[in-house]
Structure 1
Amino acid sequence: MSSEFSDTIEQFLDRFRAAWDAGDARAYAAQFTEDATYVTWRGDPLVGREAIERMHDEVFTRWSPGSKMRVSAVKAKTLGSNSCVVLTAGGLVENSPPDFDKMQTFALVQSDGRWLCAAFQNTAMSEQAKSAYNSAADKSASS
């Protein structure tokens, strides 16, 4: 990665989470490339930043207003000098700390000195995965 590039995966995830927590569809969509692909947890595909913003405007105003996000990197793999894949555990909740209930895959690329998401897949966790990730999170929170 170039010496001009200093953004970290955690900084990207922090921006991603902060935009969600603020209910800001434009800031949320700004974390994606113009031509990004986004597969929702229900399996609905979105193509392009504009579609991601439009869908999330409805999510934030109609379906999940006030919801908060929890997202934690599980594994990251560099694909080249300016791209990587990140596996995360994530979850949403309204008015209380969220449990992990989704596995997410981000394909990130460098753009203007920061990471942007070019492709995103969000999948509901199995009960076994929920138990494992939430138990591990509970243990690290109490230590």
Structure 2
Amino acid sequence: MISTETEQAINTLFAELEDSWNRGDGEAYGACFTADASYTTFVGTVYRGRADLAAGHQALFDAVLKGTRMYNEIVEIRCYGPDAAVVIGRGDVAKKRPSRLSKVQTYTLVREADGGWRIASFHNTRRKPLMEAISFRFVPASAPRR
């Protein structure tokens, strides 16, 4: 069971993550992550460490991601003790909100010594609903039970 305080702190972290993206601020975006974070994009790029992902994202914010906004929906939060959580979400980035969020994301969060929650690991996958439907039709037992 997640405490109200923990849930609020995690929601605040996600609000900061979105705000920094929407402002195109790579340094603030990186501050949402641990110093040694790992970050895997949906195209397979892996950033290692806060400095790497902050610099990489600033370059992207200044070019192909300029003017985009982040859209997130937290699907589930699971706590593993008082200082660790896994968050499953859906999300996307675009100039305007898409009708359907196309990515599934997994975040591993930790509460650091200063009491703040930060993202230690992030993995982003583009969802392919048609491929899912075909797979589940031919192999029904492969469908998630929830």
TM-score by length of 2: 0.80
**Shift in CA distance, 5/101, structure 1 to aligned 2, threshold 3 Å:** closer
Find the counterpart in structure 2 of residue 58 from structure 1: 59
Cα shift at 1:7:
5.2
Whole-angstrom distance in 2 between the partners of 1:54 and 1:128: 35
Cα shift at 1:87:
0.3
Whole-angstrom distance in 1 between the partners of 2:54 and 2:117: 18
User: Unaligned 5+ residue runs, structure 1?
Assistant: 130-143
Find the counterpart in structure 1 of residue 126 from structure 2: 124
What number of residue pairs does the alignment pair up?
A: 128
- Return the letter of the residue paired with 1:106: Y
Whole-angstrom distance in 2 between the partners of 1:9 and 1:70: 16
User: Unaligned 5+ residue runs, structure 2?
Assistant: 132-146
Cα shift at 1:113:
2.1
Q: Which runs of 4+ in 1 moved over 6 A?
A: none
Structure with bigger RCO (C-alpha 8 Å, 6+ apart)? 1
Cα shift at 1:31:
0.4
1:16 aligns with 2:31: no
Contact 1:6–1:113 (Cα < 8 Å) also in 2: no
Whole-angstrom distance in 2 between the partners of 1:123 and 1:85: 16
- Return the letter of the residue paired with 2:53: I
Return the index of the structure with the highest Cα Rg: 2
Contact 1:7–1:114 (Cα < 8 Å) also in 2: no
Partner-residue secondary structure (3-state), 1:86: strand
Whole-angstrom distance in 1 between the partners of 2:7 and 2:108: 18
Find the counterpart in structure 2 of residue 113 from structure 1: 115
Cα shift at 1:39:
0.4
Whole-angstrom distance in 1 between the partners of 2:73 and 2:46: 23
Normalized per residue, which structure has more strand? Answer: 1
Whole-angstrom distance in 2 between the partners of 1:74 and 1:97: 18
Find the counterpart in structure 1 of residue 26 from structure 2: 25
Find the counterpart in structure 1 of residue 97 from structure 2: 97
TM-score by length of 1: 0.82
1:88 aligns with 2:89: yes
1:74 aligns with 2:75: yes
**Shift in CA distance, 41/115, structure 1 to aligned 2, threshold 3 Å:** same
Cα shift at 1:128:
4.7
Whole-angstrom distance in 2 between the partners of 1:53 and 1:68: 17
The Cα RMSD (Å) is 2.3
